[in-house]
């Protein structure tokens, strides 16, 4: 069994090699730039850890794992255009550093490269692996589309939000785990259980982001507390607040929508008070625990010795305890 | 042996089915829109014709052929954003009918769908087919990148232009023919010859576009004569003119660059006179003939009976005689 750090270093080495092969071809410079921004490499690491449950040797999973990271970064490159984002991981976004056309085209090239890497999966698994990958990839696009639609809508439900984050974030984590399982020869049931583990962990992970924004220890979170509140972002908390609030509270939420930056501080205080009145901290914690437990239940059904599951369970636990 | 019309109707039926499956999913509406604009379906038809050289039954090539058409239309959707084009095949472009973000995201979804269709290739050919497809797809992106760079540069050579159109246009035609050959069980040499046939035909086809713009029968071409000249488009003719012209001619070319629309008519006359002085009509005809002959020479080496080659040769001939 290998550690997360070990897998991260394997992936980083492969990324370095990938960038060297890309060389100085102009269209691939933004690809090399975005993939080398500091990142946790969560998806490829999870694919490798998933494979490592069933096999000691995970060599065959490295390129497909890298494909997931390349694909993920492609989605970031295009999402940043659509979201008009100036920064990504603390650095200038591709469309700002180059221009929008370059970000579109280099993103396209990057997606093709993701498929090229995924095609290095063993021939006997290729059809299955590509099927999971493409289905997942399409769902990620649909998730992004929903997210953009939500910005324009005033009637988004909590249920719709949960489905959006499942599509935009969770399915790629789930797909990563399933691809690792497929290539390492897991049974179909185990593949499905790992997909389910990743899917539920992904949702819990995303909800944790919502939690940290409102209830995190600001000295550790490392960003402005209530950033989502200030941006009127339709998170689990805001949507739940809208659903559960009384008329007076609804009026307050409405009043602060799109408020000028001068009112940011009082806005955060006012909205946070509503969150507290409605017991949303506890509600969100319960919600996260629901998905976390569902993930653990799926893992329990995976037919390998408990000993082998420890790194993944430890990883899951660490995600639910992270403070930023 | 089947006719072009027969293959076109097969592809159209599959496109209709593809659109039905896409249904009402919002992100796929622009996909359904662009793929249903009237088109010749050249790439999928050529893939099927290529396969039909070697096999009477081409059922297994239909989905990969459709994948090529879906991919081609994806490139059009994204190119239209980059080129700021209002119209595509006489209809409003996707980014105009919806918006840029939708065109980016639906284009991404469309590329994934192209891969999903390509993955319906027979398992035993999948790795080879995807390898050709991805290599080609990446080259198409590089071709588009070069094309955009050329707009900003003043020192583009004819040689660079030829390489750009090879990447942007020809390799996908070539790849289509090779994919058809692979799946229908052609030998590696025959696969290579068909690739070469498509590559050379693609270049001849593109040069013919340049020819028609300047020397075509306007009543048949169906668009403004000298449209490329007016737009200062760096075509074979303009680049050759710049390379071969004397100082007086160079001055005229320079003078009309970016001229106001009021001077369009005299601009076309002046530049056309230079083309005539430099014998560029004949030069371009020779260039086209060079690639056309190269294509025929490749076809000659394909190890099937001449009788089977007739439809493809007829198709090649018709392309070189088209008047729009």
Q: What is the pLDDT of residues A260-310, one digit of tens each?
A: 999 999 999 999 999 999 999 999 999 999 999 999 999 999 999 999 999
Q: What's the sign of the alpha-carbon dihedral B14, B16, B21, B26? A: positive
d(CA B197, CA B199): 6
pLDDT surpassing 80 at residue B218: no
Q: What percent of chain B has pLDDT over 70?
A: 97
Contacts of B82 in chain A (CB under 8 A): 101, 104-105
The residue with greater pLDDT, B129 or B209, is: B129
**Tokens coding A3:** 């550690």
pLDDT 10s digits, A167-185 = 999 999 999 999 999 999 9
Q: Is there a contact between B105 and A149 if contact means CB atoms under 8 Å apart?
A: no
Q: Does A82 touch chain B (CB under 8 A)?
A: yes
Q: Does B73 touch chain A (CB under 8 A)?
A: no
Q: Is there a contact between B101 and A113 if contact means CB atoms under 8 Å apart?
A: no
Largest CA distance in chain B: 62
pLDDT surpassing 90 at residue A80: yes
SS3 A24: coil
pLDDT surpassing 80 at residue B16: yes
Beta strands in A79-172 (DSSP E): 87-88, 91-92
pLDDT surpassing 90 at residue A311: yes
For residue A131, give how far its alpha carbon lies from the nearest alpha carbon of chain B (Å): 7
Matching residue, tokens 């990563």: A176
Residue of A nearest to B132 (CA): A116
For residue A111, give how far its alpha carbon lies from the nearest alpha carbon of chain B (Å): 8
Q: Does B145 touch chain A (CB under 8 A)?
A: yes
pLDDT 10s digits, B182-199 = 999 999 999 999 999 999
CA angle centred on A30, ends A65 and B168, rounded to 5°:
95
Average pLDDT, chain A: 94
For residue B266, give how far its alpha carbon lies from the nearest alpha carbon of chain A (Å): 34
Q: Does B105 touch chain A (CB under 8 A)?
A: yes
DSSP line for B76-120: HHHHHHHTT-SEETTEE-HHHHS-HHHHHHHHHHHHHHHHHHHTT
SS3 B302: coil
pLDDT surpassing 60 at residue B221: no
Using CB atoms and an 8 Å cut-off, which of residues 3-32 of chain B contact chain A? 25-27
Q: Does A130 touch chain B (CB under 8 A)?
A: yes
d(CA B99, CA B104): 9
Eight-state DSSP code of residue B278: T
Contacts of A25 in chain B (CB under 8 A): 142
pLDDT band of B217, cuts 50, 70, 90: confident
Q: Is there a contact between A145 and B26 if contact means CB atoms under 8 Å apart?
A: yes
At residue A164, the pLDDT reads: 97
- Quickly count: other Cβ atoms within 10 Å of residue A71's Cβ: 26
Q: Is there a contact between A112 and B141 if contact means CB atoms under 8 Å apart?
A: yes
pLDDT band of B319, cuts 50, 70, 90: confident
Average pLDDT, chain B: 94
Q: Is there a contact between B141 and A101 if contact means CB atoms under 8 Å apart?
A: no
**Tokens coding B34:** 């662009």
DSSP line for B212-251: HHHHS-HHHH-S-TTHHHHTT---HHHHHHHHH--HHHHH
Q: In this structure, are residues B65 and B48 in contact, taking their beta carbons and an 8 Å threshold? A: yes
Contacts of A82 in chain B (CB under 8 A): 101, 104-105
Compute the half-sphere exposure of residue A21: CA atoms within 13 Å on the CB side of its CA: 8
At residue B324, the pLDDT reads: 60
Q: What is the ipTM of this complex?
A: 0.95
pLDDT 10s digits, B222-244 = 566 788 999 899 999 999 999 99
Contacts of B130 in chain A (CB under 8 A): 115, 119, 130
pLDDT 10s digits, B69-100 = 999 999 999 999 999 999 998 899 999 999 99
Q: What pTM did the predictor assign? A: 0.95
For residue B102, give how far its alpha carbon lies from the nearest alpha carbon of chain A (Å): 8
Q: What percent of chain A has pLDDT over 90?
A: 90
At residue B11, the pLDDT reads: 97
Residues A183-209, mean pLDDT to the nearest whole number: 97
pLDDT surpassing 60 at residue B149: yes
At residue B223, the pLDDT reads: 62
In this complex, which of A26, A111, A130 lies closest to B145 when CB atoms are compared? A26
Q: In this structure, are residues A237 and A266 in contact, taking their beta carbons and an 8 Å threshold? A: no
pLDDT band of B111, cuts 50, 70, 90: very high
At residue A301, the pLDDT reads: 98
At residue B227, the pLDDT reads: 87
In this complex, which of A119, A127, A130 lies closest to B131 when CB atoms are compared? A119
Q: In this structure, are residues B31 and B22 in contact, taking their beta carbons and an 8 Å threshold? A: yes
Q: Does B127 touch chain A (CB under 8 A)?
A: yes
At residue B220, the pLDDT reads: 66
pLDDT 10s digits, B238-286 = 999 999 999 999 999 999 999 999 999 999 999 999 999 999 999 999 9
Q: What's the sign of the alpha-carbon dihedral A193, A195, A198, A199? A: negative
At residue B199, the pLDDT reads: 98
pLDDT band of A223, cuts 50, 70, 90: low
Contacts of A102 in chain B (CB under 8 A): 145
Contacts of A142 in chain B (CB under 8 A): 25, 27, 109
d(CA B268, CA B248): 17
pLDDT surpassing 60 at residue A222: no
Q: Is there a contact between A144 and B105 if contact means CB atoms under 8 Å apart?
A: yes
At residue B226, the pLDDT reads: 87
Q: Does B126 touch chain A (CB under 8 A)?
A: yes
d(CA B90, CA B82): 18
Q: What percent of chain B has pLDDT over 90?
A: 90
**Tokens coding A162:** 């949960």
């Amino acid at each position: 069994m290998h550690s997360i750090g070990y897998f991260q270093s394997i992936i980083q080495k492969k990324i370095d090699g990938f960038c060297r092969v890309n060389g100085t071809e102009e269209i691939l410079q933004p690809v090399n730039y975005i993939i080398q921004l500091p990142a946790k490499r969560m998806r490829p690491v999870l694919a490798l850890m998933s494979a490592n449950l069933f096999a000691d040797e995970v060599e065959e999973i490295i390129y497909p794992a890298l494909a997931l990271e390349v694909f993920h970064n492609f989605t970031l490159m295009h999402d940043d255009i659509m979201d008009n984002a100036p920064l990504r991981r603390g650095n200038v976004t591709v469309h700002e550093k180059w221009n929008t056309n370059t970000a579109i085209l280099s993103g396209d090239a990057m997606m093709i490269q993701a498929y090229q890497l995924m095609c290095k999966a063993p021939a006997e698994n290729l059809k299955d692996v590509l099927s999971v990958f493409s289905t997942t990839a399409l769902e990620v696009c649909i998730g992004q589309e929903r997210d953009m639609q939500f910005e324009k809508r005033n009637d988004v439900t909590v249920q719709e939000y949960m489905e959006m984050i499942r599509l935009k974030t969770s399915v790629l984590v789930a797909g990563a785990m399933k691809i690792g399982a497929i290539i390492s020869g897991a049974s179909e049931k185990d593949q499905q259980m790992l997909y389910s583990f990743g899917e539920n962990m992904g949702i819990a992970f995303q909800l944790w982001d919502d939690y940290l924004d409102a209830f995190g220890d600001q000295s550790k979170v490392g960003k402005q507390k209530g950033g989502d509140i200030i941006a009127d972002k339709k998170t689990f908390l805001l949507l739940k607040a809208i659903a559960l609030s009384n008329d007076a509270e609804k009026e307050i939420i409405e009043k602060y929508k799109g408020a000028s930056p001068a009112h940011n501080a009082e806005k955060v205080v006012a909205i946070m008070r509503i969150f507290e009145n409605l017991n949303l901290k506890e509600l969100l914690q319960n919600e996260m625990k629901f998905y976390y437990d569902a993930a653990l239940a799926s893992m329990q059904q995976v037919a390998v010795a408990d000993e082998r599951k420890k790194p993944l369970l430890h990883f899951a636990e660490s995600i639910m305890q992270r403070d930023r």
